[in-house]
Amino acid sequence: MPVERETINVEVEARTDTGKNVCRRIRAAGKVPANVYGLGLAPFAVAVSPRRIEEVLKMGSGRNTIFRLSLAGGTETRDVMLREMQRDPVSDRLIHVDFARVDLSKPVTVDVPIHLEGLAEGVKNEGGIMDFIQRSVQISCPALEIPEQFVIDVSDLHLNQNLAVKDLVVGEGVTVLDEPSAIIAVVVPSRAEVSEETVTEEPEEGAEEPEVVGKGKEAEGEKQQEGGSE
């Protein structure tokens, strides 16, 4: 039974010219250059509104959103996903986008974020801190059944206990491609506790004091002085 989904349309303009100067003109006109590729078909170049792409990214499925590209002034459409994005390192504005064609009848490979739920026992009562090591996993699943995220409950974790990829609960038809033993989150001792444990202990009462370097030479010098005064 097909999964119902909202049809998201993003209009693009076809472009035949390429090169740095062309890309600058496209950005100056308020759009960003983009490419469409995949499924064994020839790639082609387009221009798209960066605002529209940002709107797609703000949806629950984020970068894993499947949407429909439509050519301005035409009737041709294609289901795609965002694959690569480039941003200006200073302004963080989009400067280039790559779209990958999607066959809705076939599985896709994507990264899905992980969300930690609850407060670990080791954090709440045992002085530990939560170390969130792996924040996403790569999966393969039908194109229309990509989960927005995986939620994993850490409430029962004690100090030095962890949860791994194998502990994730995934839906039918979803295959996790990451190593099952890869650690997602672990409760570790806080730095304050580690520092207290490594403080040097004071010497026990009655322990011998360390020999003072140079004491022998001072004693010899005293004897020589005594001999000279006789």
* Rg of the chain, C-alpha, whole Å: 32
pTM: 0.75
Sequence ranges of the chain with CATH classification 2.40.240.10:
9-104
CATH architecture of 109-197: Beta Complex (2.170)
Stretches in the chain below the pLDDT threshold 50: 1-3, 200, 223, 228-230
Q: Any idea which architecture 9-104 has in CATH?
A: Beta Barrel (2.40)
Residue 229's pLDDT is 47
H-state helical runs in 162-202: 191-197
pLDDT at 156: 97
In this prediction, residue 221 carries a pLDDT of 53
DSSP string of 121-158, one letter each residue? HHHHTSSEEEEE---EEEEEEEGGG--S-EEEE-TT--
- What letters, b where the CB count within 10 A reaches 16 and e where it falls short, cover 15-24? beeeeeeebe
To 5 degrees, how large is the angle CA 104–CA 172–CA 81? 30
Q: What is the pLDDT at residue 29?
A: 94
Q: Where in the chain is the domain with CATH 2.170.120.20?
A: 109-197
Note the pLDDT of residue 143: 93
